[in-house]
A and B are shown apart, each in its own frame.
Chain A
């Protein structure tokens, strides 16, 4: 029979380990919980084609300037662009709660060796039109001007790492006949809701 002290020790150790497991599980649960995503609106097609260079695919990513997961999303975008070897253009829509942080006209950012223009999305309307309800959401239109992909590039919130979505994007860029992969899970902070604009939420 274990002594009273041993009992308390084991009980204490059990509670402690349980607390630790619970804490880590909560963190993991938060990290692995995807955000909302919606299909791009029909009006988004024209906007995308307007910003796409003729004959080249374009990947547009909407990000929240203050979201801690944005860095991971941009890193994965850079990785994708690097792996695409210039076969795809990119465009960043950046929402910032503070308008003073809005990108200046003509501001660019180099990701994966590709110069990516930054566009301000002061009220998140453009993102909402693209169906990007969560920071890190991306939309790909191919060289023909067809939306072939939308969703996130990361595997967890703030976690870097090559994801299946990235592989799918590369396949779509390389082969215009590849199967489109819409509604990939996106991990990030929610972008602002736009009044009067309620896209169809996929997740």
Chain B
């Protein structure tokens, strides 16, 4: 026997070539034992089921043997039932019924297995006896032990072996012929039989132990498999739940998609904007009813063809320009184009178009929306024309405003001039030049007479003094005249400045230039200074910007003069009339020129309507000034805004102008 076999003998599982039992983790011991118990129950159940058939069959066999070979016992010519038959029936019944009852009532009890084992080897003894001690029948013992081994419980084998041993030992001692077929059997013969039985039982016990180890190992694997299966089951259940949820979500999404598609279809069909898809070649891949209606195309059906049938809607090289621009930018927003309709008319359309990603080898396709703006274009054209007219009128009105201001200031100066002239006239009319003329006539004649007259005549004696006083008078008169003339000259210079300012503004009419806002304010203030002075209005300057703005000087002057006049009007009857002129940075890239007053203020409800055409709060106003001002400001890419904290709180008008670069 080789060392390997010896090693295998000490380790039955190794001898059988199977893996040794795996170590059972502490956490899985209970499941393994549970599985092992379940497994053993199955094994016991199978063995029980076998013996449920085998025991009764052996009973029938024993009865059959007795009935065939020894049915009757004879005494001469008379017979009776043979004791073998009675024994087979009675002993067989005793061997079968109790174990089967235990199998039925206690299928897993170890007592049941022991009872079955005893019954099985009992049948061996019975059959040996009934067969007349035939040595061949002894083989039944070995078969019985093998059958009992099906329980895989070595303890049961021990019980069966003990029964067999006791039976053979007892019979060998007292009835050797019944078991060995000889009248005398030595102890060696009993030992020989026992050795063979021990040989088989040893193998079977070893098999039982190995089998149980294998069962344990199988249960360990099964426990792990069950654990894995449980985990898998949980995962499958979770995944199934997730899939069901996902399916429901998808079904819901599908329904929503269908509804969305339907809504989309309805939207496209009923959209008041054209939706289309077209190729560079002019083929219209899709066009909703709106755009078909606009272009005079068939309302339903496919729009086959390309340049030949649909290319005609484009005018001139519009399509080429359109595609060039679209290919350059990939997207066009607010692209206006005029199409020729299939009915021979024209339609203006505003398109928002996007270039689709080009498929390899496919045509260039764009998609987008188109809106019929024919009416809008026409209305816009009319509005533009009206605006032009309005601007023209505004310009003229502005010029008139400025001219009025100029004339007003000039008039004021002329009034002063007129007063001076009237004063001069009055003084000229009442001057003492005739007195000088008469005194000169008194001094004409003979020198002697003149001397006589000067010395002796009362009048003559007063004449030198009179002339002296007259001379002083004329000197004084000359000084006054010179002063008045100087005043007149100043007034004329003032008039000239006003006219020069107006002329310089008028020269720049319609021209955007870089001009310092300070200069604009000063010009406007110069035109209105006389009026402010006369009405006792204080002017406060707060200039924080020294740069230039881009503006039409004349328009700015027009706006500022208008604002200053409005401020002056708002300060009428105000005790502490004050106008604050501010130049400050505005929004990014803008400068704010603000005219603030502390006058009557503006109600909130009027603020929104302040720049509307025709709105005015002045009894003699025509509601045109501020409207034209805001138009002019916007024309210069600026803006005009008004703010007021309410009646009595004054008002501020802010002109925003773009900063010069």
Contacts and interface: CB of A to CB of B under 8 A. Distances in A.
B537 to A, nearest CB: 127
B94 A16 contact: yes
A159 B133 contact: yes
A9 interface: yes
A152 to B, nearest CB: 12
B455 interface: no
Contact of B90 (A23, A31, A124): A23
A32 B178 contact: yes
A71 B70 CA distance: 11
B111 A13 contact: yes
A46 to B, nearest CB: 25
B94 A23 contact: yes
A100 interface: no
A160 B177 CA distance: 8
Nearest to B122: A20
A64 B70 CA distance: 13
A26 B77 CA distance: 25
B75 A190 contact: yes
A17 B118 CA distance: 9
A158 B76 CA distance: 17
A95 B71 CA distance: 18
A28 B76 contact: no
A17 B78 CA distance: 35
A161 B182 contact: yes
Interface string B232-256: 0000000000000000000000000
Contacts of A156: 133, 175, 177-178
A74 interface: no
B94 A19 contact: yes
A123 B70 CA distance: 23
Interface string A153-179: 001101111111000000000000000
B132 interface: yes
Interface string B59-95: 0000000000111111111110011100100110011
Contacts of A160: 132-134, 181
A66 interface: yes
Nearest to A66: B74
A190 to B, nearest CB: 4
A97 B77 contact: yes
Contacts of A67: 73-74
Given A66-B72, A161-B133, A190-B76, A26 B83 contact: yes
Interface string A186-197: 000111110000
Interface in A55-74: 64, 66-68, 71-72
A124 B111 CA distance: 55
B102 to A, nearest CB: 9
Contact of A192 (B71, B77, B134): B77
B125 A24 contact: yes
B151 interface: no
A30 B75 CA distance: 15
A7 interface: no
B183 interface: yes
Interface string B515-526: 000000000000
Given A16-B98, A17-B118, A68 B129 contact: no
Given A19-B94, A190-B74, A72 B132 contact: yes
A27 interface: yes
Contacts, number: 106
B439 to A, nearest CB: 178
Contacts of A97: 74, 76-79
Nearest to B125: A24
Contact of A28 (B74, B79, B134, B178): B178
Given A20-B91, A20-B122, A27-B87, A158 B70 contact: yes
Contact of B74 (A12, A27, A64, A161): A64
Interface residues on A, range: 35 or more
Contact of B129 (A19, A24, A162, A191): A24
B339 interface: no
Nearest to B101: A12
Contacts of B75: 189-190
B632 interface: no
A113 B90 CA distance: 40
Contact of A27 (B83, B98, B177, B183): B83
A57 B477 CA distance: 219
B106 to A, nearest CB: 9
Nearest to A65: B74
Q: Which of A124, A135, A156 has the most CB of B within 10 A?
A: A156
B432 to A, nearest CB: 169
Contact of A161 (B84, B98, B177): B177
A67 B73 CA distance: 6
A190 B75 CA distance: 5
B177 A124 contact: no
A128 to B, nearest CB: 11
B180 interface: yes
Contact of B183 (A12, A155, A191): A155
A161 B76 contact: no
B57 to A, nearest CB: 19
A163 B183 contact: yes
Given A97-B76, A161-B180, A68 B133 contact: no
Interface string B159-202: 00000000000010001011011110000000000000000000
B349 interface: no
A165 B129 CA distance: 22
Nearest to A26: B87
B115 interface: yes
Contacts of A66: 72, 74, 79
Contacts of A68: 69-73, 82, 84
A27 B76 contact: no
Contacts of A12: 98
A91 B182 CA distance: 25
Contacts of A164: 183
B181 A191 contact: no
A9 B98 CA distance: 11
A111 to B, nearest CB: 17
Given A192-B77, A193-B76, A158 B132 contact: yes
Contacts of B181: 155, 159-162
Interface string B112-126: 000100100010011
B174 to A, nearest CB: 8
Interface in A88-103: 95, 97
A188 to B, nearest CB: 9
A113 B640 CA distance: 153
A160 B178 CA distance: 9
A161 B177 CA distance: 7
A156 B126 CA distance: 15
A20 B95 contact: yes
Contacts of B111: 9, 13
Contacts of B82: 68
Given A68-B69, A97-B77, A155 B115 contact: no
Nearest to B111: A9
Interface of A: 9, 12-13, 16-17, 19-20, 23-24, 26-28, 30-32, 64, 66-68, 71-72, 95, 97, 124, 135, 155-156, 158-164, 189-193
25 contacts: A20-B118, A23-B87, A26-B87, A27-B84, A28-B175, A32-B177, A32-B178, A64-B76, A66-B72, A67-B74, A95-B76, A97-B78, A97-B79, A156-B175, A158-B69, A158-B84, A159-B178, A159-B181, A161-B180, A164-B183, A189-B74, A189-B75, A190-B75, A192-B76, A192-B77
Given A31-B178, A156-B177, A156-B178, 4 more contacts: A64-B76, A97-B79, A135-B74, A161-B181
Nearest 8 Cβ contacts at the A-B interface: A192-B76, A161-B181, A68-B70, A155-B177, A189-B74, A97-B77, A23-B91, A190-B75
